[in-house]
Amino acid sequence: MTSTSYPGRELELFAGAHRWKRYLAEEMAPFIGRRTLEVGAGIGGTTLPLARATKQKAAVWVCLEPDPALARELRASIDRGVLPAACEVRCGDIRSVAERESYDTILYVDVLEHILDDRAELLRAASHLSAGGYLVVLSPAHRWLYSEFDSAVGHHRRYTRRSLRDVVPRELEQTRLRYLDSCGLLASLANRLLLKQALPSEREIAAWDRFLVGPSTWIDRLTGHRVGKSLLGVWRRRS
């Protein structure tokens, strides 16, 4: 088992971004299967809205978290009934998953950018996908948006469609690759060029979630998901 401590406050800051979480859940819900592995589950900020969006379709949902403190927090959320009873918490990373285990869905939601060897990571993940299973990756987009915030929360990189596609194993078939949050891109650019903040405030996160995420949902569709501060990719293992 490999454990580590999460360096930033990103999870707590975005925990209240309910509109953003719902938007992500709507985008990801079609790819959630009966057996789901969520790598880097954090404090369950993605787990809960996805479970709600899929009406808790997953019979098994393994929350894999390398930070022992966050893993304890996840277990406490399950005990309190905040997270579905189907959830199981394991403290570790993809290397701690048994070779025989396979999943219908493997999630990396704002996680892959924290991993130094992303190519090797996804190669291991792909080996645990069942036939017809989905690999779902959400990551921050565009290297030119890399800011003090990315450095503060331990991001090694931001992705483009091409750079993310390049690290996904070739045996997986691309199903979806799109940018999200076109309005948020402008806010991120403002921080990159003007504010240069290591961390946004809770008030700023709340304002983005309240005033920018809603317009982004329809502007993203109008632009064909060609613009955005986040990148969502989905790949499928051929049956």
Extents of the domains making up the chain:
10-237
Q: What is the mean pLDDT of residues 196-216?
A: 86
pLDDT band at 106 (very low <50, low <70, confident <90, very high): very high
**Percent of residues, the chain, with pLDDT higher than 70:** 93
pLDDT for 16: 85
Instruction: Pick the most confident of 12-16, 55-59, 115-119.
Output: 115-119
pLDDT for 7: 55
pLDDT band at 3 (very low <50, low <70, confident <90, very high): low
Structure-block tokens of residue 149: 């915030």
Among the listed residues 9, 4, 87, 5, the one whose alpha carbon sits nearest the alpha carbon of residue 44: 87
Residue 80 has, within 13 A of its CA and on its CB side, a CA count of 8
pLDDT for 190: 76
pTM, two decimal places:
0.94
Position of tokens 């070739």?
170
| CA pair distance 64, 58, nearest whole angstrom | 15
pLDDT for 204: 87
pLDDT for 12: 79
Give whole-number Cα distances, 149 to 98, 104, 129, 180, 211, in Å: 35, 33, 33, 19, 21
Taking only the tens place, the pLDDT of each residue in 147-203 is 888 898 899 999 999 999 999 999 999 999 999 999 999 888 876 665 566 677 888
Taking only the tens place, the pLDDT of each residue in 56-95 is 888 999 999 999 999 999 999 999 999 999 999 999 999 9
pLDDT for 170: 96
Q: How far is the first Cα of the chain from the last one, in angstroms, to the nearest whole number?
A: 31
Q: Is the pLDDT of residue 112 over 70?
A: yes
pLDDT for 152: 87
Among the listed residues 114, 113, 109, the one whose alpha carbon sits nearest the alpha carbon of residue 63: 109
pLDDT for 149: 86
Mean of all residue pLDDT scores within the chain: 92
Q: Is the pLDDT of residue 15 over 90?
A: no
| CA pair distance 2, 204, nearest whole angstrom | 34
In sequence order, the 6+-apart residues with CB closer than 8 A to the CB of 58 are 32, 33, 34, 35, 36, 51, 84, 86, 105
pLDDT for 80: 96
Q: Is the pLDDT of residue 54 over 80?
A: yes
Domain 10-237 class, CATH top level? alpha beta
